[in-house]
Amino acid sequence: MTTTLRATAPNLIETACGRIPPLWPLQSFVAVNPFLGLADMPFEEAAALMERVTKGGLLMDSAYYLEQLRLGRIRSSDVDAVSGVGIATLSEQLRQEEATGSVVTVADWLDQQKGTVWAAFITDEVSKWCGSYFDEGQSAWEMPGKGSPLFLAWKRMAECDANPEVQGLTGFRQFVAELPESPVEMVRHALESLGIPAEAEIDFLHRELMSVFGWSAYGAYQDRQAEGGGVVRQLLAIRLAYDVALLRLADGWRCAPGPAPAAGSTGAKCIAQAALEHAYRSRLTEQLGTSAPAVTCGRKALQAVFCIDVRSEVYRRALEAQSEEIQTIGFAGFFGMPIAFGEKALCPVLLQPSHKLQAQANTSRWQEIWEAMKRSAVACFPTVEITGAWFAMKLLRRVFRAGTAQREKPALQWTIPIEARVDLAAGALKNMSLRAEDLAPTVLLCGHGSATENNPYAAGLDCGACGGHKGDINARFAAALFNDPEVRAGLGARGISIPADTVFIAGLHITTTDDVELLDTEGMAEQDLARVVAWLRAASERARIARNSDVGAADVELEVRRRSRDWSEVRPEWGLARNAAFIAAPRSRTRHLDLEGRAFLHDYDAQSDVDGSVLTLILTAPVIVASWINLQYYGSTVNNPIFGSGNKTLHNIVGTFGVWEGNGGDLRTGLPLQSLHDGARWVHEPLRLQVFVEAPRERIDRIVLANADLRNLVNNGWIQLLALEGSDVVMARSTGRWEYQTSCKESLQSV
């Protein structure tokens, strides 16, 4: 190994570690782009890289694309639009042998050469120690040395662990005792010992991390929470130590770049993926170009602000169908209120809470003891045995209870200066594109959350804009601000006059059942409240039928309520499955369209956004968060063994923060198969996000050029950005240039 390589080891480590995305814990599980560390490279290049360092890469298998061709979901015109190969050539290339990973660890090499299972064993060992080290109270016994850095804690424990020696790694404990104390020195030692050639070094380190991808991602989360922690670096050192230990068994080991993945297969799949996305984009483009029916202007009776979540699109349509006196608005579900409630950050993970609300403790000491007994490995079975009859009755009541339980409404308390509160209120009105003088007598701020039982991934069905929590606290806080006489006076001093008869109320859209619970309705006239409740009930019934087409209309309400409280239900709701588009435009552009619950809808009025600040916020926050959601669903579908979490029925909670599939193995990331597949077919269609913005191209260009994260997503093909101008569409290419596409209708007709 050369001196240059040894000297640059820290840079190699940081480059490899930088390719790993963070994984949030279950309590605040939010969608994360699993390719976050690859966003600075073109999608096609990232696809080739992942083919080298993982099994399966980041595209569907060839059989999937061949089936889309057979079904006509990819047409000849779609293939022609994205490449010059022709549909017959594409089909032939897709039939070539699938590519497999070409960068291997020592454990991989031994398994391939000798039929051993060292890779699985090492993953189990790493997972065992990480699960103990990161445990947040699930275990009654704390790992010794937990206060030390991860690598040192592992080293002290592994020096006493005979398990690897029982499996055949003789002298392992002494080997560990002689390892360097520094993670960087350990990595440098491993690179030298394993003889990694310069051209393979970064990909090899990346492959090592991908072999324990879940723990690497959780380490990236820990590093994100505490900058400079270096947890991923320490995990890399641990994983490499096992490979160095295996060298004595690996006669003939030589790390050289393996054969490149089959260019025909990988390249063809990239083309097929782009063609599939072109087909969807063409259909949506035609819809957006259809003439919208005239909408009655004037002040509405009800304005309802919903999260941009794709599930809200169906409900908004159902609510608007009740009366022309109803207007719905799409906005990020935290309502522009970056707050924390107790220890929970109720805002997008891209932001830090700027204000803290006080939480009142509702859990008694006896409840805490009860929960600890249920979690304990020693006490859980005796606890159920001793309290069996009582526990069974409690379970039965929860299973068979009727309707929806009343939501707890904790008191909201804060000490936020009046100027800061006025700033929050003014900013929210501006960013929602709401003019104060046009506000309806009733303005509903409707957050959303799921209602499920026995579901470790419950937070993944709640509001991503609220940090993986329900949106009721944000809605209640925002409504209280807007109703506050002091805040209204402060807004008036800035020329923002909220009508005296306007009352803001909070609500929560339960996405599992499509109920809407109204909260804090004080101040509303009785007849107005009754009318709003009637509209919401009718909209809920309509939305339930639309979102559950597989269930008969007569049974749909009973079925969705059963799903929400059934402890054995693996598909309580489909969440954001099938998400494919983001549309920032006036509601008049989409109000007449059935977008099938596939689009994030954000209201935006370019004419009132003179300085472009609202569009800047939309493109650099909601669009990026939506792309994270989209790419999490995409990654969990195209390669669930790596980027998803496998079979939900086999999950076991680890340390309260993550899941194993079974009783060991890697920490699982992403979404379970049951959130994407109905048992017979894929429900989620893996498409990169199509972002439509009704705004001048020059304004969009300025924002894209000024923001590196957004620029990477657009120019490297992780999202597709399109500009709506009247009835025309202008499409952004990966070069950053715009390509005129004529009118929406003509675009589709020319395909």
DSSP 245-263: HHGGG-TT------PPP-H
**Low-confidence residues in the chain, pLDDT < 70:** 1-8, 97-101, 139-141, 228, 256-265, 291, 294-297, 359-408, 727-728, 732-736, 740-751
Phi-psi region of 397 (alpha: psi -120 to 50; beta: other; left: phi over 0): alpha
Residue 509's pLDDT is what?
A: 98
Q: Is 460 exposed, middle or buried (0-12, 13-18, 19+ CB in 10 A)?
A: buried
**Ramachandran class of 73: left when φ > 0, alpha when ψ lies in -120 to 50, beta otherwise:** alpha
Give me 99's structure tokens.
């590519």
Give the pLDDT confidence score for residue 386 in this predicted structure: 54
Owner of token pair 């939309």:
618
Residue at token pair 């694309």: 65
Contact 724, 284 (CB under 8 A): no
Would you say 204 and 52 are in contact if contact means Cβ atoms under 8 Å apart? no
Residue whose structure tokens are 């390669």? 639
Query: Looking at residue 387, what is its pLDDT?
Result: 56
Burial (CB < 10 A; 0-12, 13-18, 19+), residue 500, is exposed
Query: What's the distance, Cα to Cα, between the start and end of the chain in Å?
Result: 56
Please check whether residue 442 is in contact with residue 524, taking contact to mean a CB–CB distance below 8 angstroms: yes
| Measured distance CA(183)–CA(515) in Å, rounded | 52
Bridge partners of residue 468, in order along the sequence: none
Contact 19, 37 (CB under 8 A): yes
Residue 143: predicted pLDDT? 80
Q: List 345's β-bridge partners, or say none.
A: 340
C-alpha span between 2 and 195 (Å, rounded)? 10
Tokens of 147: 């206060």
The answer to whether 18 and 220 are in contact (CB under 8 A) is: no
95: which DSSP letter? T
For the chain, the farthest-separated pair of C-alpha atoms sits apart, in whole angstroms, at: 83
| Cα distances (angstroms) measured from residue 111 to each of 119, 130, 239, 258 | 7, 24, 16, 16
Rounded to whole angstroms, how far apart are CA atoms 303 and 299?
9
- Return mean pLDDT, the chain: 88
Strand segments (E) across 634-677: 651-654, 658-661
Q: Are 305 and 429 in contact (CB under 8 A)?
A: no
**Is residue 659 within 8 Å of 652, Cβ to Cβ?**
yes
Residue 220 has φ and ψ, to the nearest 5°, of -65, -35
Count Cα neighbours of 158 within 13 Å in the Cβ-side half-sphere: 29
CB 43 within 8 A of CB 717: yes
Give buried/exposed letters for 235-274 (b at 16+ CB in 10 A, else e).
bbbbbbbbbbbbeebbeebebeeeeebbebbbbbbbbbbb
Q: How far apart are CA 12 and CA 18, in angstroms?
A: 10
Q: Which helix (H) or strand (E) holds 602?
A: strand 599-603
Spatial separation of the C-alpha atoms in residues 491 and 482, rounded to whole Å: 9
Is 291:319 a contact under the CB 8 Å cutoff?
no
pLDDT of residue 736: 67
Do 619 and 710 meet the contact criterion of CB atoms below 8 Å apart? yes
The Cα–Cα gap between 70 and 67 comes to 5
Q: What is the pLDDT of residue 256?
A: 56
Residue 91, both tokens: 């089909």
DSSP state of 328: E
pTM: 0.92
Tell the residue number behind the tokens 């699960």, with chain if given: 131
Q: State the Cα–Cα distance between residues 228 and 222, nearest whole angstrom.
A: 10
Beta bridge partners of 505: 444
Q: How much is the pLDDT for 360? A: 61
Q: Which residues pair with 548 in a beta bridge?
A: none
Q: Cβ neighbours of residue 150 under 8 Å, at least 6 residues apart?
A: 130, 133, 219, 231, 234, 235, 238
Assigned token pair, 743: 């009118």
